[in-house]
Structure 1
């Protein structure tokens, strides 16, 4: 075995052991000392929001400017992947997989509930202002989120684009070696730190990326499980008790895990099919709400939300809450800063997935496709579902935002049709959650194997680690526990992404 292959496998094994140990330690602490761990993470969450929230705000706004600048520059004409490579997926399938992997089931949860929550929260900039509530929701799911994904996706794609060393290998061996060792956040920093990324510091970066990805996706899986629980409880349980809901929660996480395992067997084919089903069901739900809801008002809501988003983008992109009231600062930490941390935690696996499905496309197509198309889709979704919820008076507590979708369907549809639409929305939620989880597991398994092909057993091990993390944290502290972990763990990863941006700018200046 070549020395390089040995080094890659040793490094991958260290990252795999370090990541699983970090996850196991966190979950063990939650199980054995739940109140202490909750207090510690609550305190850390407060410190991050109060003193370091500005770093999230500044970093993600800078990423938006950077991604747009690269896309519109002459670098945008350069192509990704091996010379002469053609795109492996049609543009429609490519965009569908981008949207499914990048938002998962979270948009089903917050797309309905978030505008109403902003409207009723006293510290919100959109308090008692429906137009601003829609624009603010689109702001959280728009350009800032997708700029993070586009940046990391381009960085990975550029690593793969880099010419490899030519040796005495046949073409098949060269193809097998193409990805070996390159799924690594540390590898993206090689232009800045050279061979030092292969040492302990590089391993620490990869452990941080994998851990952050695990807890970030666990948050999305937790949201999906609670939404599925709310939907099933509303259909089949009149007065659900805690034990019944816990049993439902365990069963639903297990079901999502099984659906994801099927996608992992087929890899990109399975993910593409699941994303197509999920997006098809999403379109059906959106069309139903448009037809049964206040259609004319929803059309006006879309235009008003777009205008509000453009206004809010300029006003809130660099808002740190320095001169805000305590209520406004609390809202900023609970919503905007948390969202920025959530997108950062998803960046490693979504970026890798984007790079893998984007070979053969130009830099400009990748960046503008990732940045603009999903942002527009999120704006439309928020306007239709969030606007309908506000106009029909749907009110759901912040502790159970997933129930907003089913409350909206109950207001718009008579009972027989409501049951069918509820089941369709549950299937949509499951498919979109499975796409996100499967994409994350493929990335984690590749990291644990040093890149290249991975065995099904390794994928399933990562799948159960991720599902177990979501389940333990949900049972221990609900969504608040997941949010606190994401806010804290994503902060050092955000600093790594800033370095990735600097490294990317350096390599882009290198001529072909």
Structure 2
């Protein structure tokens, strides 16, 4: 078992490690971070099992208060992360590599994109791909357009793209950059708390504050992963009913699905990153591409093609309006919309950010900040645009034609309703369930490994027992989320996800300031600044001495070496 550690002698906050020294060592559990978070998670599971109704009402009351008083924080922070990520990439800091100046990328670009996309939001695309555009078309955001009008199509697609492109991936990029830069460039551990060394100083960043930061990250990761498992279980259960495999949609079926998925992703997690995540990610990308191609060809092809530029154009045009939606102008209807959609998404992405960001950092050594941001933000955003144009376009087109894929308006049913109006319904329904299962397994095994990393002082290879523990706890928390939601299981997922993500939002905001301070003192930037200063001084001196007629040359230094150094 190997753990990447700083080189002998360590580095200061402005230093640059000579090498990343890999030494064999046993993963050491941080009993404060692991113990406190494990106890809280176990208490949540017991609370939900024994006093289900009490947990449900308490969660709803807490959510109502938080949305009324702190919902604005998530709205502002999410857009702030977009601005910060793009600024880093487009500025002079974009040339800084995540590693030594001569490091090469560890993974091929295709595999790198497949892994980050699958781990980032694959299961969400399957769940909401057809559902969200159609729901916004039938029930547009408050104060926008009449339901099921031509203008409502544009608003529905723009709102969906707003939720699934720049904002979520910028959240991931902030944390991924902070961890990847600090680990591969500065020689720090892969703990989120280690990225705060530039802001708090090394001693404070390794003190009690670090325990709190890593505990919040661990807590958010647990609940974000559980939310994804809950969504996957809901869609698989609906698919099983559509295929005629089950007759009822009770919670017992959901729990059984969660148990099976949990066992699968734990087995994948302990198999290792190369054999597990990479293989599953590549396989799922091919299957997802085949499903999208089928819907594109069998569905309203021309309408989908026309929807692509329209969606992008309206998204750009309405970006400011969508980013500024709040209850201050929309009243109670807008508050409800934001809590059901925008704020839930921002909370979900933030709760996913510890494990997705750490995972992205782990697979991105050797890439520059600019390459990282381009790969993490632009590529998945383009794929999301195409995905929602295909599935959302098919759903909206069918609704306009009177086929009513909207049905009862339940998110997990809409995808299957759309596929039922296309050929090969039975095959595509099974493929959807398979994709959801693999997307979750490939994402959750990454999450369980990252939770192990957070629990064991940044170990890149956490012990199997702790990976298994967090995998099992993810399944238990997901089951409780669904149970407390009752008939509206998705509500239980939304409530708990927001409560779990809000504290970590503050961590991400502070992380932006820490990362900005870190890159300013990067050795590459120092060399560049020093070079510019020396060049400017030389030009000034040449202009003064030679009236502008001069040339700059380099030659060996003629001054004798210091007494403690031999001559060259």
TM-score by length of 2: 0.82
The corresponding residue for 1:77 is: 95
Q: Please state whether the residue corresponding to 1:279 is helix, strand or coil.
A: helix
Residue-by-residue CA offset, 1:13-59 (whole Å, 9 max, x unaligned): 21011111111111222222222221221111112222211111111
The corresponding residue for 1:215 is: 223
Residue-by-residue CA offset, 1:240-284 (whole Å, 9 max, x unaligned): 235xx4343233222222321232133222101111111111111
Report the CA distance shift for 1:163/1:340 in structure 2 as closer, same or farther (over 3 A).
closer
Q: Higher relative contact order by CA 8 Å / sep ≥ 6: 1 or 2?
A: 1
1:249 aligns with 2:247: no
Q: 1:479 aligns with which of 490, 509, 516?
A: 490
Q: CA shift at 1:199, angstroms?
A: 2.5
Q: CA shift at 1:351, angstroms?
A: 0.5
CA contact (8 A) 1:105 1:429 kept: yes
CA contact (8 A) 1:113 1:396 kept: no
Q: 1:144 aligns with which of 148, 158, 167?
A: 167
The corresponding residue for 1:324 is: 330
The corresponding residue for 1:267 is: 272
The corresponding residue for 2:176 is: 153
Report the CA distance shift for 1:241/1:11 in structure 2 as closer, same or farther (over 3 A).
closer
The corresponding residue for 1:284 is: 290
Q: CA shift at 1:436, angstroms?
A: 1.1
1:13 aligns with 2:31: yes
1:423 aligns with 2:430: yes
Q: 1:89 aligns with which of 92, 107, 127?
A: 107
CA contact (8 A) 1:101 1:432 kept: yes
The corresponding residue for 1:404 is: 414
The corresponding residue for 1:102 is: 120
2-side partners of 1:127 and 1:279: how far apart? 37
Q: 2:366 aligns with which of 360, 373, 381?
A: 360
Q: Please state whether the residue corresponding to 1:402 is helix, strand or coil.
A: helix
Q: CA shift at 1:10, angstroms?
A: 7.5
2-side partners of 1:358 and 1:441: how far apart? 19
2-side partners of 1:213 and 1:454: how far apart? 16
Report the CA distance shift for 1:488/1:451 in structure 2 as closer, same or farther (over 3 A).
same
Report the CA distance shift for 1:11/1:320 in structure 2 as closer, same or farther (over 3 A).
farther
Report the CA distance shift for 1:306/1:290 in structure 2 as closer, same or farther (over 3 A).
same
Q: CA shift at 1:83, angstroms?
A: 4.6
Residue-by-residue CA offset, 1:105-134 (whole Å, 9 max, x unaligned): 111111110011112226544552011101
Report the CA distance shift for 1:126/1:186 in structure 2 as closer, same or farther (over 3 A).
farther
Q: Please state whether the residue corresponding to 1:322 is helix, strand or coil.
A: helix
1:205 aligns with 2:213: yes
1:315 aligns with 2:321: yes
Moved more, 126-135 or 288-297: 126-135
Q: Please state whether the residue corresponding to 2:129 is helix, strand or coil.
A: helix
Report the CA distance shift for 1:123/1:369 in structure 2 as closer, same or farther (over 3 A).
closer
The corresponding residue for 2:237 is: 229
- Rg larger in structure: 2
2-side partners of 1:341 and 1:306: how far apart? 24
CA contact (8 A) 2:270 2:467 kept: no
Q: Please state whether the residue corresponding to 1:395 is helix, strand or coil.
A: coil
- Which segments of 5 or more consecutive residues in structure 1 lack a partner in the other structure? 165-178
CA contact (8 A) 1:286 1:381 kept: yes
The corresponding residue for 1:62 is: 80
Q: 2:263 aligns with which of 246, 254, 258?
A: 258
Q: 1:342 aligns with which of 313, 334, 348?
A: 348
The corresponding residue for 2:311 is: 305
1-side partners of 2:373 and 2:141: how far apart? 35
2-side partners of 1:203 and 1:9: how far apart? 17
The corresponding residue for 1:497 is: 508
2-side partners of 1:9 and 1:126: how far apart? 56
2-side partners of 1:497 and 1:131: how far apart? 32
TM-score by length of 1: 0.91
The corresponding residue for 2:564 is: none
